[in-house]
Amino acid sequence: MSRFSPCLALLCAATFAACSTTDSEMHNSEMPAAPDAKKIPLELTDHGDTRVDDYFWMRLSDEQKKAETPDAQTQDVLDYLTEENAYIDGALAHTKDLQDQLFDEIVGRIKKDDRSVPVKDRGYWYYTRYEEGKEYAINCRKPAGDETKYEECGGEEEVMMDQNVMAEGHDYFSLGGMRVSDDNNLLAFAVDTVSRRQYTVHFKDLSTGEILADEIPLTTGGATWAADNKTVFYTRKDEQTLRSNQVFRHVLGTSVEDDVLVFEEEDETFACGVYRTKSDAYLVIYTSQTLSQEYRVLAADDPTGEWKVFQPRERDLEYGISHYGDHFYVVTNLDAKNFRLMKTPVNATTKDNWEEVIPHRDDVLLEGIEIFKDFLVVEERKNGLNQIRIKSWDGAKDEYLEFNDPAYTCGTGSNPDFNTEILRFGYSSMTTPSSSYDHNMRTGERTLLKQQEVVDENFSPDNYTSERLMVEVRDGVKVPVSVVYRKGTERNGNNPFLLYAYGSYGNSLDPYFSSVRLSLLDRGFVYAIAHIRGGQEMGRQWYEDGKLLKKQNTFNDFEDVGRAMVERKYTSPEHLYAMGGSAGGLLMGAVMNQAPDLFNGVVAAVPFVDVINTMLDETIPLTTFEFDEWGNPKNEEYYRYMKSYSPYDQVKAQEYPNTLVTTGYWDSQVQYWEPAKWVAKLRDYHQGENLLLFHTNMDAGHGGQSGRFRRYRETALEYAFMMDLEGITE
C-alpha cells in the first residue's frame, strides 16, 4: 500500500467567508483572474518550531462532506474548489478543441468490443469482455468440459456481472474482488460507489441469478470462501482511519451483526487481510507493515477451527508464504537483504525450521514465486529488469525466459491451475503492446494468446525507438532511465520531453507500453521513466537509500536525470516537463522547490505534499503504518528532516514552472485539501507569469474517474496543458 492518503481532523471553528478573486495573476488580457483563497492563520508548534498554516481551514471531515446540507466551512471549501475549476476552465478554454481531439484519439485507439484472455479454473473459463459504447466490463464464464483450449469450448456464456447495469445511476462505480465458491454456484463481489475504497460485499446465486440478502459494509472489497460453500471471511476497515484492522467470519443466511471476529490487529502500524492459498488447502490471515509481516493459517475445510500463527512478527523480518504438499514455501529477508526462498513443514512453521531452497544473491532481488505441481516459477529482478525463472522440482530444468527489448516488463499472469505445465505470463516494452503468453514449462513452447490491439492503421512498433540509459548522479550512483521516442527524432536540444517517476515504497516503475502515450510521441515528445531511488528496481538497497533520512536522494536523482537529458541534447529546460502522482506528486513538489528553473511545466496528480501535518495526525488513512517509510515526526530528527523537503512547508518566493495540479474530492489516499492548500500557498509566493492551474474532480477519488473511457478526459487535459506550452494546437 502506498502513501496516497492524508486526512486530518479539523481545528478551526470560525466562520469562513467565500473565496475572492484577484487580478494579480493575470497573465494577459484574456486570462481570467486566479482565485485568492481566504487566509485564517493557525499556529502549529512542534519541537519548539512554529509553523503558520494559513489554509488549515480547507480540511473537511467525512461527515461534513457527506452531509446533505453543507455547513459554512464546507460551503467555503466547495466555493473555493469551484472557483479553481472555473479558473482552469477559463485559462485552458482555448485548448478545448485540442482536448476533445486528444480524447477522441486516445479512446479511438482502444478496441471497443474487446475481451480478456480466458483463464481456466475449476471447470470454467473466466473472462471479461467489453461492448462498444459502454464504459464498464462484463464479467463472464463458460463451462470448460474436458477441453484444454477456450476456442474448443462449446459451452454457453454465462454473464456473472454486467457492470454497465450495476453502474447506472452512479457517478462513480468500482467492482471489487470477485470470488466463486468451491462448488461454482455462489459469487461474492464488492461494490464502491463513492470512491473512498470502502466496499460493500454482496452475494449472487449463479444458478438462479438471485442477489442474496447478505450485505456486508465497510470492507476492503471481496470475501474469501472456506471449503464448505457457505462460510466466508472478510476484512473490515476502521471507519475513520480506513485501516484494515479486523477479519470476520460470516455464514450465508445469518445476520451480519452476528458475524464472528476472528482476528483484530491492535497495532496501529499494521494492516491485515485474508486470502486462500493456491492449493485451496489453507485460509491465511496476514498482517503487515513496511518492515514486518505475520501470518495465521487454518485448514480451509475447518472454518470454525483455531488459527495458528505461522511465525510470530519480528521487527525487520519480512516474509510471505505459499503452500505445496507437506511444506510451506517462504520468501523472506531473513539474513537476506534481497530475499531468499525457504521451505518448512506444514506442522513446524517457525523460522528455526526453515530450510533454504534458493540462496540470497547480492545482485538479484527475489520478488515472488508461483507454484505448480511439477515446477517452481520465480520472479526476480536484475539490473533493474524483470526476470522469470522456471525450475522443475526434480532438478532437471532451471532456465530463464529470454526477451529482446533493451527495456521491458514481464510477470506471471493468472495461474490458478496447480496441475498444469502451462505458465501464463505477460510481457510489454515501451514499443511492444501488452502481450499475454502461454509457455509450456516442459517443452519450452511459447504461444502468443493476445497482444493489445492498437486501433490505428498508422501504428507500428517499428515507428518507435526505446533506449535504456544509465545516468550518473551527484553522489556517483548510476540511475537507470527508460526512454522512448518516434524514430527520426533528432537530439538537438529542442524536443519536448516528459520525464516521469515515482520513487517511493519500494514500488518499481517498469518500462511498459502505453497506447495513450502515442499522442505525445507522435507530436514529437520524448518520454522517459527515471528509475530513481525509493523504488526497488536495483534491489532492496535501492529502496532503503530513498526513504526515511535518505529521502533527499529521490529528489536529487530526479533532478540530476533531468539535467542529464538536457546535457545529452534530448531536450532543454524550455521544453522539459515532469510528471508524477501521489507520492510521485510529492516528488514533483520537492523538485519544483529545489530546481524551479529546470522544467517548463510540471503535472502533479493527487500529490502528497503536506507531509508534516499528515504524518503528525494518526487519525488519517495510512499514516500509522507509514512511519517506516517517511519517519514519525513526533521524533524531532524526523520532523526536521521531513520539513526540509515537505513541498507545502518549503514553498518560497521564486518563479515556479508552469504547473497543473489535480485531485479528487473523495480521495481516501491523499485528501483533496493537500493539493488545495499547496496551490493556495503557491499562489502567495509564485513570482512571474507562469501558469498555476488546479482541477478537482468532484465525483472521484485517488484513481480518478471510473469507467473505461471517461478517465481519459483528465489525461487529455494534462496532455493539452503541456502541448499548449509547446505551441502545439492539434
Please give the positions annotated as active site: 582, 667, 702
446, three cell numbers: 511459447
Element (H, E) at 73: helix 72-91
DSSP β-ladder status, 385-392 and 398-400: antiparallel
> CA geometry: angle at 550 spanning 366 and 379, to 5°?
10
Dihedral (Cα; 94, 98, 99, 105), 10-degree rounding: 170
Nearest to 349 by CA among 373, 371, 384, 320: 320
Supply the DSSP string of 163-201, one letter for each residue. Answer: HHHHTTT-S--EE---EE-TTS-EEEEEEESSSSS-EEE
Report the alpha-carbon distance of residue 575 to residue 522 in Å, rounded.
16
Q: Which residues, 6+ apart, have CB-to-CB distance to 669 below 8 Å?
A: 2, 3, 4, 5, 197, 582, 606, 621, 622, 701, 702
Cell numbers at 300, concatenated: 480451509
State the SS3 of 86-110: HHHHHHCHHHHHHHHHHHHHHHHCE
CA distances, 721 to each of 87, 407, 535 (Å): 14, 28, 28
Phi-psi region of 688 (alpha: psi -120 to 50; beta: other; left: phi over 0): left
314 close to 292: Cβ distance less than 8 angstroms: yes
Specify which residues 321 forms β-bridges with: 330
The answer to whether 405 touches 486, Cβ cutoff 8 Å, is no
For the beta carbon of residue 405, count every other beta carbon within 10 angstroms.
20
Residues 6+ apart with CB under 8 A from 199: 174, 176, 190, 191, 192, 219, 220, 221, 222
Torsion-angle region of 362 (φ positive above 0: left; ψ -120 to 50: alpha; else: beta):
alpha
